[in-house]
Chains A and B, each alone.
Chain A
Amino acid sequence: MNEILVYWNQFINIMNSGGIIMWVLFALNLLLWYGIGYRYLTLKRGTRGNVRRLIEKHEKRGSEKKYSGLLDYVVADSIQAYKTAQSIGKKPRAFIYDAIFPYIILIGKYSILVKTIVILAPLVGLLGTVAGMIETFDALQSSSMFSQGDSIAGGISKALFTTELGLVVAVPGLIIGKILDKKEEQFILEFEQIVDILSTKDEK
């Protein structure tokens, strides 16, 4: 318990040495990881098999199939839409698209937020650096040591801490964001495949 308190105090100290920009960056960081976490959870594929076999399985077992991931739900909904379209004798493509649409929106959710924060964090860090530099040069100009908050060393520490935190926020976000984007692309391709398979079923 005591150790946690010590770490907490250290954290507060570091954050305060960088000024208000640090807290802005920290808030951006929380937002970023919320977005990444959300995307990670929604982009879970669940099954490993390829799409063709998945559709076969679903058709065989019907509603008894256990759903283990996003793809399962998509396939189930698509088959449902396909059956509806068949019952009224229309082409199924539009119906399946209709069923898949909410999932396309779902897998794209927060992707823009993550990208924006990855671009934004280094900029905010730079802003902190510039503010710190201004403080440093001001202190050099008046060269008084009257108050601690407005000193040469304070300005420099502000300048360095904010840039550092900006990069610390941005770099993992960039890497993980790219991985998730790749996953999203994969999903879109698989959705297309599902639509194509189901719409060409009759002509087999």
Chain B
Amino acid sequence: MKILLTLFLLLSTLLSADELRDAYEKEFTFLKAQKTELEKRLRQEKLFQTKEVATTKQKVQNLQNRYVKLSQEEKNLENQMQKLSVKLDDKRSNKEIIASVLIQAKSLLDEYNIEVNDKKDADILKVTRKAFVDGAHLYKQLSSLEKENGKFYLTDGTKTDGTIIKIGNIAAYGVTDKAKGALAPAGNGEYKIWNQDASADALAFAKGTPRKDIKIFIYENLDKDVEYKKEKTLEDTIKGGGTIGYIILILGALGLLLILIRTVLLIRAGSNVKEITNTVVEKLRNNKPQEALEAIKGYKGSTARVIKATLRNIDKDRDHIEDIVTENILNESSHIDRFGNFVLVLAAVAPLLGLLGTVTGMIATFDIITEFGTGDPKLLSGGISEALVTTMLGLIVAIPLLLLGNLLSGWAQNIKDSMEQAALHIVNEYEVHKEK
């Protein structure tokens, strides 16, 4: 089958070979012409394209340039916009400041009846300028010394005419024939003479020659009546201490009394040690112990008793005498040390009681705070100052008791020591002169 097909093809080819060649030739020339034509067109097209690309590139370049320029412009505009909005903010806050200044000026200057126009259609610049000028004027007025005639109350409540010297609007002095002194607010813009003496300063201000150190009453305003300050007496202070304060004072009085008694006891016990010793020693030098005993019979007190006991037993064995002296001194020491420790206990207890009083006072103060709140510091400080009084009383009692109690203890110890020494000395003297 395959061979048949090949043969057929071969035959057909041989048959049409000539015809085919002609056709091919024709076709070839045609195609050649077309090729040259096409090549020509291609060249033209290429030329055209290059031209076109160049122009387009140019165009793009131009457009890009324009874009850059425009974006630059946009940036500039944005900057400008930002600047403007900042300026706007500034202006707004300035406006607020000016408004608040005006409100302040109005509230301040209204007190002195100076008008500030705060209506919406007013010329703000003008109003502000006026307010400042008025303010400066007022400041000058208030910071100067001013004399005027007016009325004020005296301390007994009567109203009189007189000269009022105002020191700005924080203090004033009043001068009349009857009274001179610092003025304090009496409520509703009126004055009253303060009850502490400042007449010298009032006169000095009236003459216009203020002194270097002045007594002055400084007030915030004249609307509120100021109460006269009472002179705080010792009695008031002690009353502030309350029950515990009185207890401390009673303990203190008791302590002082005991110290007084103790002093008397010690004076009687120890004042004549030297005298007795000298008398006895003199008699003993002549070896007359019985006479010595006679000579000091008139003396009383602890030392005398101890030495009398020594003299009575002076012939005995040395150890025996020493035992007698020790026993006698022990016996007297209960007398000499009487109240000594009790006074020191009182001195230790008094400050503790004072502390107790302060704590209870503080509790009372804080009770007041829970009731009325912390709005008024005067309430609080008054309570604290009263609470501290007991501590002060405790210390006032403790300090002298401690000082005197300790000194008396030292004295008592001294007396005991000197008694012992006197007894020893007497025994020694006796022994020395007995041998001679």
A-B interaction: yes
For A119, the closest partner residue in chain B by CB is B402
Which of A98, A105, A115, A120: most chain B Cβ within 10 A?
Answer: A98
With both beta carbons as reference points, the residue of chain A lying nearest to B182 in the complex is identified as A146
Instruction: Report yes or no: A133 in contact with B388, Cβ–Cβ below 8 A.
Output: yes
Most chain B CB within 10 A, of A87, A90, A105, A112, is at A112
Tell whether, in the assembled complex, residue B381 and residue A141 are in contact, meaning their CB atoms are under 8 Å apart: yes
Contacts A137-B381, A146-B194: A112 and B399 contacting too (C-beta < 8 A)?
no
Contact between A146 and B382, CB atoms less than 8 A apart: no
**Residues on the B chain within 8 Å of A124, using CB:** 395, 399
> Which residue of A84, A101, A134, A148 contacts B424 across the interface (Cβ within 8 Å)?
A101
At the interface, yes or no: B196 with Cβ under 8 Å from chain A? Answer: yes
Min distance, Cβ A136 to any Cβ of chain B, angstroms: 8
Partner of B410, one of A112, A136, A144: A112
| B384 located at the interface, meaning its Cβ lies under 8 Å from any Cβ of chain A in the complex | yes
Residue A196 at the chain B interface, CB threshold 8 Å: no
Contacts of B395 in A (CB 8 A): 123-124, 126-127, 130
> Number of A residues whose C-beta is below 8 Å from B?
40
Q: Is the CB of A134 within 8 A of B229?
A: no
Within the assembled complex, what's the spacing in Å between the Cα atoms of A181 and B414? 17
Q: Once the chains are docked, how many angstroms separate the CA of A104 from the CA of B409?
A: 17
Question: Is A197's CB within 8 Å of the partner chain B?
Answer: no
Q: What A residues does B385 contact at CB under 8 A?
A: 133-134, 136-138, 141
A130 to B198, CA, bound (A): 29
> Is A131 among interface residues, defined by CB-CB distance under 8 A?
yes
Chain B residues with Cβ under 8 A from A134's Cβ?
A: 385, 388-389, 392
Report yes or no: A130 in contact with B392, Cβ–Cβ below 8 A.
Answer: yes
- Docked-complex contact B406 and A146, CB < 8 angstroms: no
Q: Which residues of A contact B218 (CB under 8 A)?
A: 144-145
Instruction: Name the CB-closest residue of B to A84.
Output: B432
Chain B residues whose C-beta falls within 8 Å of the C-beta of A101 in the assembled complex: 417, 421, 424-425
Given contacts A94-B318, A98-B428, contact A120 B417 (CB under 8 A): no
Q: Which of A90, A91, A138, A140 touches B232 (beta carbons < 8 Å)?
A: A138
Which chain B residues lie closer than 8 Å to A142 at the CB level?
229, 378
The answer on a CB contact under 8 Å between A105 and B392 is: no
Cα separation A88 to B384 with both chains bound (whole Å): 75
Which residue numbers of A lie inside 8 Å of B, CB to CB? 84, 87-91, 94-95, 97-98, 101-102, 104-105, 112-113, 115-116, 119-120, 123-124, 126-127, 130-131, 133-134, 136-138, 140-148
27 interchain pairs, CB-CB under 8 A: A84-B432, A87-B435, A88-B432, A91-B318, A94-B322, A94-B428, A95-B428, A98-B424, A98-B425, A101-B421, A105-B421, A112-B407, A116-B407, A120-B399, A123-B402, A127-B396, A130-B388, A130-B392, A141-B378, A141-B382, A142-B229, A144-B217, A144-B218, A144-B226, A146-B194, A146-B196, A148-B213
3 interchain residue pairs of minimum CB distance: A137-B385, A112-B410, A140-B381
Q: Which residues of B contact A (CB under 8 A)?
A: 182, 194, 196, 198, 213, 215-218, 226, 229, 232, 318, 322, 351, 377-378, 381-382, 384-385, 388-389, 391-392, 395-396, 398-399, 402-403, 406-407, 409-410, 413-414, 417-418, 421, 424-425, 427-428, 431-432, 435
Known: A101-B421, A104-B417, A130-B388; 9 extra A-B contacts, CB below 8 A, are A84-B432, A94-B428, A102-B421, A105-B421, A123-B395, A127-B392, A134-B388, A137-B381, A147-B215
